Amino acid sequence: MAVLKILKFGEPTLRKVARPVEEITPRIITLLDDMIETMRAAGGCGLAAPQVGVLRRIAVIEVEDGVVYELINPKIIAFAGEQKESEGCLSNPGEYGITKRPKAVTVRATDRHGKEYELSGTDLLARAICHECDHLDGKLYTDVQIRACKKG
């Protein structure tokens, strides 16, 4: 496994729409493993493939230690409620903004074994799902930001 370079805001790749994964190959498995290692090394709770320069519809999320969700070709199929919380991004370190996201989200995705599944989450998990799916569509949290703020 390897820690990959995370692209920063301003990189054109972050504004491009990622392509679907047509086949889960050994390269996709390696990418998933490297993305998990990269996310953890950077201290994040989610990472999308475009953030590491790969325009594929892949994201990883870990909002609870040791529980990693791998989302291949994710599609949000349901959402409800509203939350306004502070949100940051590994591609924009040290900067945060208050965003408005759904309180609850359900996403349909495929795992590394090719099995389709649904994942439902609330609060931070719902926010992370939305954030990472936005990356796959070339959107950044600043696009849904209500106001900017700095932590620390």
pLDDT at 107 over 50: yes
Q: What is the pLDDT of residue 150?
A: 58
Query: Do the domain assignments include residue 50?
Result: yes
Annotated catalytic residue 62 = no
Query: Do the domain assignments include residue 1?
Result: no
Q: What percent of the chain has pLDDT over 70?
A: 97
| Mean pLDDT over the full length of the chain | 95
Query: Do the domain assignments include residue 5?
Result: no
Q: Work out whether strand 145-150 and strand 104-110 pair parallel, antiparallel, or are unpaired.
A: unpaired
CB-facing half-sphere around the CA of 128: CA atoms within 13 A: 24
How many separate domains does the chain show?
1
**Segments forming the whole domain that contains residue 34:** 12-150
- Judged by DSSP in three states, 130 sits in helix
Rounded CA gap, 108 and 79, in Å? 12
Question: What is the arithmetic mean of pLDDT over 1-6?
Answer: 94
CATH number where 114 lies: 3.90.45.10
pLDDT at 152 over 50: no
| pLDDT range class, residue 149, cuts 50, 70, 90 | low
| pLDDT range class, residue 75, cuts 50, 70, 90 | very high
Total-model pTM:
0.94
Query: Do the domain assignments include residue 105?
Result: yes
Question: What is the arithmetic mean of pLDDT over 103-109?
Answer: 98
Contact at 8 Å (CB) between 127 and 48? no
Q: What is the pLDDT of residue 21?
A: 98
Q: What is the pLDDT of residue 1?
A: 80
pLDDT at 151 over 60: no
Q: What tens digit of pLDDT does each residue of 25-45 get? A: 999 999 999 999 999 999 999
- Worst-scoring range by mean pLDDT, 100-109, 120-129, 141-150? 141-150
Rounded CA gap, 103 and 101, in Å? 6
Query: Do the domain assignments include residue 107?
Result: yes
Rounded CA gap, 63 and 128, in Å? 8
Residue type (1 letter), 135: H
Encode burial over 23-50: b for 16+ CB neighbours within 10 A, e otherwise: ebeeebeebbebbbbbbbeeebbbbbbb
Q: From the candidates 62, 70, 87, 132, which is the catalytic residue? A: 132
Query: Do the domain assignments include residue 3?
Result: no
- Worst-scoring range by mean pLDDT, 10-19, 21-30, 94-103? 94-103
